[in-house]
């Protein structure tokens, strides 16, 4: 099965949100197993990409202390994950961007490989995950050739990541078949973080 070389992938940790369900606390720095969530996600992306970047819109010095490139959205007012992805696609030097949310500390270690296989197999410039009920578009592989399309969509007011990704007819991988259901669990709320910690 053809695969995208690891060196052709830039990993992106999406940490630019406002953490509304955490009452404004930056969930990237909430700790699991004595490490912040952002460190877990960055480490897992680093094992399957050539370089890892972080998209954040506050406390940039704190993120920079992790030793990874950090950048803000190219649009003000926290427009959401699409803005972060579009901003990354404008900057990366690799052909492909592998995206994961900052609250997914157990993301699959073969995420890039599986999404890459699906994209190449189907001749698509996007690939994402389906969990049997819906797309999980924050786990995304996208080619930098789509930068112009996405930048235009954000500039024209598109905000919903899932709607935009679905409209592109991406290649999909089935989380159930790959045994990823637990790996995709996030810490969107304090209760979800507690559940992850109990299973650690």
- For residue 150, is it within any domain? yes
Give the burial class of 198: count Cβ atoms within 10 A of its Cβ; 0-12 exposed, 13-18 middle, 19 or more buried. exposed
pLDDT digits 0-9 by tens, 140-170: 999 999 999 999 999 999 999 999 999 999 9
- The per-residue pLDDT for 76 is 85
What does the angle CA 94 – CA 64 – CA 72 come to, to the nearest 5 degrees? 65
pLDDT digits 0-9 by tens, 32-88: 888 999 999 999 999 999 999 999 998 899 999 999 999 999 998 778 999 999 999
**Residue % of the chain over a pLDDT of 70:** 89
The CATH number of whichever domain residue 192 belongs to comes to 3.90.550.10
Give the burial class of 157: count Cβ atoms within 10 A of its Cβ; 0-12 exposed, 13-18 middle, 19 or more buried. exposed
C-alpha–C-alpha distance, residues 168 and 18, integer Å:
26
For 113, the enclosing helix (H) or strand (E) is helix 111-122
- For residue 1, is it within any domain? no
Domain with 138 in it: 6-199
Domain count, the chain: 1
């Amino acid at each position: 099965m053809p695969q995208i070389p690891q060196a052709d992938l830039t990993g992106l940790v999406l940490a630019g949100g406002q953490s509304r369900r955490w009452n404004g606390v930056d969930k990237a720095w909430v700790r699991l197993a004595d490490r912040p969530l952002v460190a877990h996600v960055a480490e897992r992306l680093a094992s399957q990409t050539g370089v890892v970047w972080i998209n954040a819109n506050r406390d940039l010095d704190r993120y920079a202390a992790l030793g990874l490139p950090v950048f803000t959205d190219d649009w003000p007012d926290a427009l959401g994950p699409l803005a972060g992805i579009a901003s990354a696609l404008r900057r990366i030097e690799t052909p492909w961007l592998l995206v994961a949310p900052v609250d997914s500390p157990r993301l699959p270690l073969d995420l890039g490989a599986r999404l890459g296989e699906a994209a190449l197999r189907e001749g698509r410039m996007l690939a994402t995950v389906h969990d049997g009920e819906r797309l999980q578009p924050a786990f995304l592989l996208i080619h930098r050739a789509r930068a112009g399309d996405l930048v235009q969509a954000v500039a024209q007011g598109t905000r919903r990541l899932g709607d935009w990704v679905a409209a592109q007819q991406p290649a999909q991988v089935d989380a159930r078949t790959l045994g990823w259901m637990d790996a995709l669990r996030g810490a969107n709320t304090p209760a979800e973080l507690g559940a992850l910690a109990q299973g650690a």
